[in-house]
C-alpha cells in the first residue's frame, strides 16, 4: 500500500489545472446505459472511481476505454444486469446503474451499498423514486432486486434533496412513459451537468438547478458526446491549500460561479480571491481569521469541503465553529488532525476548532477522500515530516495530486510500504 511523505512547512505558489468533476462524471457514465450506443465523455479525470465505474460497466457487458481524458463507452449491448457487492462496496455511486438498467431493460440487481465511515447513508430515496415510477423492489441476500414493465412518469417528492436519488430518478425517468416531476430535487451543478447531457441526447428536461425538475420520458435516447464540468471540490481544495500555506495559487479551468459559498469563506478567512469566468487566484493572508461554517445542500457550503476548511481553521487566529448538517457523523478527520496538535472539540455534529500557532508533522491515516485531502493540507504547514497512510482514498477523487502539489512547491513523495 502506498503512502505520502510530506515535509513542511511549505508555501504554495503557481498555477494548477483543475480536472473534470468526479461527481459529474459518474452520473454521465451511468447515463450511457440508457442509449444503446457509443458515447464519448471529454475532460474525464483518471481517478480510482473512474476505473471502478468502468469496471461496473464492464461487468454489465459494456466496454469502455480512457485515453488522454477521453472516455469512450459502447453501451450497444448489455449482457448482465447485476452490479456486484465487491464493486459497490468500494464506490457507493455504483448504485447509479439501477435507474438506467431498470428503465431500459426492466430489471436490475444492485448490491446494497451498506454504511460508510460517515454513518448509515441510506438509499431509501432512490428506492422510493423507482417504486413511484412503477418498479417492484425486493431486498434479496443484500441485493436490491428491481423489476418493472415500462416505467411510468410520476410525481416523486424527495424527503431531502439527495444528489444520488435525484441522479437515479432523472436517469430512470428519461426512458419512462410520460412526464416525471421531481420535487425537492438536488440543485447541485452536477445535476445540471447531467441534465445538459441528457438534453443533448434528446430528452426534454426543465428546471434543473431548481428544486422542481420536469422530465419528459422518451422511447429511446440518442448516444451523446459531452464534456465533464470542472471539479469544484478539487478547486476548493487547492484554494484551501493556498490559504493554509499563505501562498499564491491560480486555479485554471475552474468554475468560480459554482463556488460562491466556498469563496465567501476563503475571503472571510482573509484570502484575496480574484476570479474570471474560468480561473481563480487565491492569495493567502499572513494570519488566518477564524470563521464559522454550516454545511448544507447547494448553494450552501458543501460538506465535501468541510474537512479541508477544518484543516485551515486549525491554525486560525481564534476559535471557529463548524456545524455539519448533511452527514452528522462526517468527522473521521478530527482524531487525525489532533495528531498534528490541532485543538478540536466535537459535540454531536458541531466541531469547535481553536486555532493553534503551529502544527507538527505526524503519521496519520486517510479515512475518506476529503478527510485525506485535509490531512495533506495540514501536513503542508506542519513542521517536520508527515506520513499519510492509506492514500488510495485520495486517489479515488484527486487526479495526479502529488504532481500537482509538487509543481506548486510542496515537498511530497510517494512511498510503497
Ligand atoms: C453525493 C456526493 C458526495 C457528497 C454528497 C452530499 C457523489 C458521487 N457523491 O453523495 O460526495 O458528499 O452528495 O453533497 O456525487 N439520504 C437519505 N436517503 C437517501 C439518500 C440520501 O437519507 O436515499 C441522506 C444522506 O444520508 C445525507 C443526505 O441525504 O444525509 C444527502 O445525501 P446525498 O445527497 O444522497 O449524497 P450522495 O448522493 O450519496
Domains of the chain and any CATH numbers: 2-19+230-416 (3.65.10.10), 22-227 (3.65.10.10)
pLDDT in tens, 165-187: 999 999 999 999 999 999 999 99
Sheet harboring 350-354: ordered strands across? 293-294, 319-323, 350-354, 343-347
Q: Which of 39, 116, 254, 314 is catalytic?
A: 116
Q: What is the pLDDT, as a whole number, of residue 121?
A: 80
- List, run by run, the mean pLDDT of 10-residue segments along the chain (417 residues): 96 98 98 97 97 98 98 96 95 96 97 76 94 96 95 98 98 98 98 98 98 98 97 98 98 98 98 98 98 98 98 98 96 97 98 98 94 97 97 95 98 94
Nearest to 163 by CA among 178, 182, 135: 182
Predicted TM-score of the model (pTM):
0.97
Q: Give the nearest ligand 1 atom to 93 CA.
A: 8
Distances (CA, A) of 188 to 110, 233, 258, 297, 306: 25, 12, 9, 8, 16
| Pocket residue to mutate for ligand 1, from 22, 91, 326, most atoms within 8 A of Cβ | 326
Contacting residues for 347 by C-beta, under 8 A, at least 6 apart: none
Q: Dihedral sign, CA of 71, 75, 79, 82? A: positive
Strands (E), 62-135: 64-67, 70-74, 82-83, 107-111
Cα of 272 vs centre of ligand 1, distance in Å, is 32
pLDDT in tens, 119-163: 778 999 999 999 999 999 999 999 999 999 999 999 999 999 999
Q: Cβ(115) to ligand 1 under 6 A?
A: no
Nearest to 37 by CA among 174, 199, 224, 195: 224
Helices (H) then strands (E): counts for the chain: 14, 24
Which cell goes with 299?
A: 448553494
Is there a catalytic annotation at residue 116? yes
Q: Say if CB 397 and CB 47 are below 8 A apart.
A: yes
Q: Say if CB 381 and CB 7 are below 8 A apart.
A: no
Q: Give the nearest ligand 1 atom to 126 CA.
A: 23
Strands (E), 160-211: 179-183, 204-206
Q: Cβ(163) to ligand 1 under 6 A?
A: yes
Which cell goes with 311?
A: 484543516
Dmax (CA) for the chain in angstroms is 63
Would you call 268 helix, strand, or coil by DSSP? Answer: helix
Cα of 389 vs centre of ligand 1, distance in Å, is 26
Amino acid at each position: 500500500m502506498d503512502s505520502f511523505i510530506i515535509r513542511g512547512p511549505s508555501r504554495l505558489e503557481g498555477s494548477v489545472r483543475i480536472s473534470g468533476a468526479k461527481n459529474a462524471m459518474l452520473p454521465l457514465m451511468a447515463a450511457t446505459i440508457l442509449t444503446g450506443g457509443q458515447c464519448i465523455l471529454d475532460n474525464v479525470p483518471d481517478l480510482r472511481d473512474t476505473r471502478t465505474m468502468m469496471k461496473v460497466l464492464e461487468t454489465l457487458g459494456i466496454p469502455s476505454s480512457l485515453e488522454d481524458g477521453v472516455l469512450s463507452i459502447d453501451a450497444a449491448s448489455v449482457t448482465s444486469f447485476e452490479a456486484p457487492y465487491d464493486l459497490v462496496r468500494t464506490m457507493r455511486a455504483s448504485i447509479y446503474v439501477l435507474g438506467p438498467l431498470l428503465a431500459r431493460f426492466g430489471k436490475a440487481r444492485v448490491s446494497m451499498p451498506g454504511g460508510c465511515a460517515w454513518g448509515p447513508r441510506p438509499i431509501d430515496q432512490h428506492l422510493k423514486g423507482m417504486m413511484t415510477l412503477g418498479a417492484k423492489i425486493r431486498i434479496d441476500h443484500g441485493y436490491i432486486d428491481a423489476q418493472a414493465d415500462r416505467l411510468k412518469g410520476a410525481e416523486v417528492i424527495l424527503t431531502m434533496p439527495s444528489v444520488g436519488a435525484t441522479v437515479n430518478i432523472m436517469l430512470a425517468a428519461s426512458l419512462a412513459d410520460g412526464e416525471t416531476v421531481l420535487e425537492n430535487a438536488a440543485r447541485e451543478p452536477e445535476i445540471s451537468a447531467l441534465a445538459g447531457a441528457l438534453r443533448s441526447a434528446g430528452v426534454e428536461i426543465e428546471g434543473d438547478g431548481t428544486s422542481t425538475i420536469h422530465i419528459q420520458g422518451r422511447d429511446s435516447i440518442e448516444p451523446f458526446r459531452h464534456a465533464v464540468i470542472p471539479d469544484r471540490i478539487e478547486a476548493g481544495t487547492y484554494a484551501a491549500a493556498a490559504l493554509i500555506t499563505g501562498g499564491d495559487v491560480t486555479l485554471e479551468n475552474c468554475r468560480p460561479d459554482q463556488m460562491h459559498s466556498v469563496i465567501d469563506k476563503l475571503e472571510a478567512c482573509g484570502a484575496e480571491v480574484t476570479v474570471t469566468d474560468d480561473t481563480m487566484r487565491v492569495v493567502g493572508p499572513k494570519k488566518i481569521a477564524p470563521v464559522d461554517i454550516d454545511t448544507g445542500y447547494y448553494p450552501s457550503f458543501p460538506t465535501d469541503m468541510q474537512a479541508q476548511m477544518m484543516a485551515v481553521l486549525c491554525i486560525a487566529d481564534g476559535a471557529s465553529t463548524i456545524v455539519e448538517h448533511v452527514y452528522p457523523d462526517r468527522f473521521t478527520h478530527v482524531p487525525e488532525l489532533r495528531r498534528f496538535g490541532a485543538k478540536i472539540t466535537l459535540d454531536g455534529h458541531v466541531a469547535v476548532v481553536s486555532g493553534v500557532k503551529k502544527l507538527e508533522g505526524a503519521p496519520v491515516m486517510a479515512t475518506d477522500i476529503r478527510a485525506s485531502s485535509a490531512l495533506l493540507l495540514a501536513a503542508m504547514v506542519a513542521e517536520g515530516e508527515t506520513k499519510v497512510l492509506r492514500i488510495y482514498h485520495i486517489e479515488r477523487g484527486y487526479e495526479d495530486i502529488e504532481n500537482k502539489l509538487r509543481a506548486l512547491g510542496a515537498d511530497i513523495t510517494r512511498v510503497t510500504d
